[in-house]
Chains A and B, each alone.
Chain A
Amino acid sequence: MVENVVELSAINRVYEMGEEPLYALKDLTLSIENGDYVAIMGQSGSGKSTLMNLIGCLDRPTSGRYILNHKDVFELNDDELASIRNTTIGFVFQQFNLLSSMTAIENVMLPLVYAGVEKEQRIMRAQFALQQVGLDQRMYHRPTQLSGGQQQRVSIARAIVNKPRILLADEPTGALDSHTATEIMALFDELVEQGITVILVTHDGEVANRACRIVRMRDGQITSDSRIRSQKNTPA
């Protein structure tokens, strides 16, 4: 039996807008196993981004229970959530979200700066992460000097540099052409093989089909949850 890294039960996320409360997530229950590769699909407004924000500890549920890595997130304060985002979770965004004033390696080192890692360690680990995504030749380029695919590689390196349990990717290929997208997806496959739990949000069926499990959402609820292949990296 594989342990669950994410356990959401009876989650509601309600926005008070006008008179009617708006349910972005409604009574949602979802568990994700350690090392799994999950694609979350759905139309815009289906609540998939809200779900990602919750899993990524950027947001808190209005009600319900969220156990992340055996910790009850509901009880943590803002700084403790920041610390979880720093150590347990890596984010990859559609728009890359790199800091344009910094070079690739400085961007990758940033999570380590906030984690309080020593400078030499930081450089070594950032170099290693950039190597993993195949960008070790362009460490000192700024984001504007890199192509879209290269920028996404930098942001993946930044996401994995602090050895997270979970990688959250929100439409990671949304801003890339299909060839580059395939390369990036191959990178995700590698990360899954290394044992990182990857959760990605997409509305691209082709991208979703590379995952092991597809969760479909609509109006803040899960409409289907299917495993299309067994976990690639089942711990023995």
Chain B
Amino acid sequence: MGARELFKIAWQGILSNKLRSSLTVLGIVIGIASVITLMGIGEGAKKEAEKQVQSLGVNLIYVRPGAASNASISQGQGTAPTLTYEDAKAIKETCPSVDEVAAQYNSAFQVQRGEYNTSTTVLGTDPAYPEVRNFHPARGRFFNADDIKECRRVCTIGDTVREDLFPDESPVGKQILIRGELFQVIGVMEKKGANQMTDMDDQIFIPITTGYSTLFGLNTVTGQAVKMVLARAKDGQDLQAQFQITNLLRLRHGVKTPDQDDFQIRTQMDIMQTAQSITGVFSLLLGATAGISLVVGGIGIMNIMLVSVTERTREIGIRKAIGAKFGDILWQFVLEAIILSLTGGLLGITLGMIGSDWIGRFAKWTCIVTPFSIILAFAVSLAIGLFFGIYPARKAALLDPIVALRTE
């Protein structure tokens, strides 16, 4: 018997009980739609995390001092004053795979301009900072090498600080007081928003050398402490750069074995991997949740098919009496299940895409439906029809025609 005939017979079976067929389909629709939507949310989270990590700058290597310990209680990474501005300069000068270096020292201070007054983070850093961080001034300029050399009292302010101190005038060229010290505003940074824990816009950037001479003071015997050194590796040389920095710092700090390291190095790659593993778990969790609803939908199909086989026992008997073979009956019911689940699958994909679109629009969450998730949903619904349809279909095909004909 031809495929078209089998298809027609299966289709007639579906049409003979429209309400039941639609309810069966509904189970699959909901299952597939949730798979599509939840996978979209997962994918969106992944993209979002990637974007955030990217926005920190590319090929970055973070060097922090080790943990200071106070009566054997660790104060946390970055608290020991073991990393100095000299280290940062050495990294820039001697590590061939390192492209740019920006040392950082930050502290919170009271800032004033006329009647306006705010408390904000003052970040002393190098001119390479905008380049390394991928965070540039929107107006005016960032300080340059000359400003660093001459320890000029200039600053570039974040957008939040601008709002607080200069609500209705251009700040470039104006003067502000940082803990009573006079600084000239030379630029305003672009709006960046919050990244992880800090509000990137609520900062004032000053030359790190000016910071040491005015605000931060010298608080280490070995030199000028920094809280972090940001190094940017040359393209594709992250590992070499990391290796070079590690060796250089061990040499400079007299570290003999790795467990004595008084600094800590993390690369952008590490952060990316962490982010990806987190969003991966997130996606898996969402997928699994949706998968459960799909399995439930599949069991719904099996249930309905079993009822249908029982209900149509006599029909099966008649078909067998007039010459239907095992395969004819088997395929009739398997195809019925597949048509139901594929219809559900297609409707579910459509609904899932609409749902994702709405989530993207109203919940302000990037929801990305990938071709992969569509193909997956389609394949899964086909597989569900086949898997959950075959048992009832086999049951039907194995019916004894005499017994089937005798059934009322």
Asked if residues B405 and A101 are in contact (CB atoms below 8 Å), the reply is: no
Contacts of A87 in B (CB 8 A): 323
Cβ of A62 within 8 Å of any chain B Cβ, yes or no, is no
- Which residue of the partner chain, among B2, B5, B317, B320, contacts A82 with CB atoms under 8 Å? B320
In angstroms, Cα B325 to Cα A86, docked, is 10
- Which residue of the partner chain, among B12, B324, B325, B326, contacts A101 with CB atoms under 8 Å? B12
- Which residue of the partner chain, among A53, A83, A99, contacts B323 with CB atoms under 8 Å? A83
Cβ of B19 within 8 Å of any chain A Cβ, yes or no, is no
Within B310-335, the residues touching A (CB, 8 Å) are 314-315, 317-328
When A and B form their complex, what is the total count of cross-chain residue pairs whose Cβ atoms lie within 8 Å?
A: 61
Asked if residues B323 and A86 are in contact (CB atoms below 8 Å), the reply is: yes
Asked if residues A158 and B401 are in contact (CB atoms below 8 Å), the reply is: no
Contacts of B16 in A (CB 8 A): 101
Asked if residues A82 and B402 are in contact (CB atoms below 8 Å), the reply is: no
Cβ of A97 within 8 Å of any chain B Cβ, yes or no, is yes
Cβ of A67 within 8 Å of any chain B Cβ, yes or no, is no
Asked if residues A79 and B405 are in contact (CB atoms below 8 Å), the reply is: no
Asked if residues A97 and B318 are in contact (CB atoms below 8 Å), the reply is: yes
Within A50-79, the residues touching B (CB, 8 Å) are 53, 56, 58-59, 78-79
| Interface size range on A against B | 20 to 34
Cβ of A115 within 8 Å of any chain B Cβ, yes or no, is yes
* Closest A residue, CB atoms, query B322: A111
Known contacts: A59-B402, A101-B16, A113-B5. The answer to whether A91 contacts B315 by CB under 8 A is: no
Cβ of A176 within 8 Å of any chain B Cβ, yes or no, is no
* Closest A residue, CB atoms, query B321: A91
Cβ of A93 within 8 Å of any chain B Cβ, yes or no, is yes
Within B77-128, the residues touching A (CB, 8 Å) are none
Cβ of B71 within 8 Å of any chain A Cβ, yes or no, is no
State the 10 A-B residue pairs at the shortest beta-carbon distance, nearest first: A86-B323, A114-B323, A101-B16, A111-B322, A82-B325, A79-B325, A97-B318, A85-B323, A58-B401, A114-B324
Other A-B pairs beyond A58-B321, A85-B322, 7, CB < 8 Å: A53-B402, A58-B402, A78-B326, A91-B321, A111-B322, A113-B1, A114-B328
Chain A positions near chain B (C-beta within 8 angstroms): 53, 56, 58-59, 78-79, 82-83, 85-87, 91, 93, 97-99, 101-102, 110-111, 113-116, 158, 162
| Interchain Cβ contacts under 8 Å between A and B, 20 examples | A53-B402, A58-B320, A82-B320, A82-B324, A83-B323, A85-B320, A86-B322, A87-B323, A93-B405, A97-B321, A98-B318, A99-B318, A101-B12, A111-B322, A111-B323, A113-B5, A114-B325, A115-B323, A116-B2, A162-B323
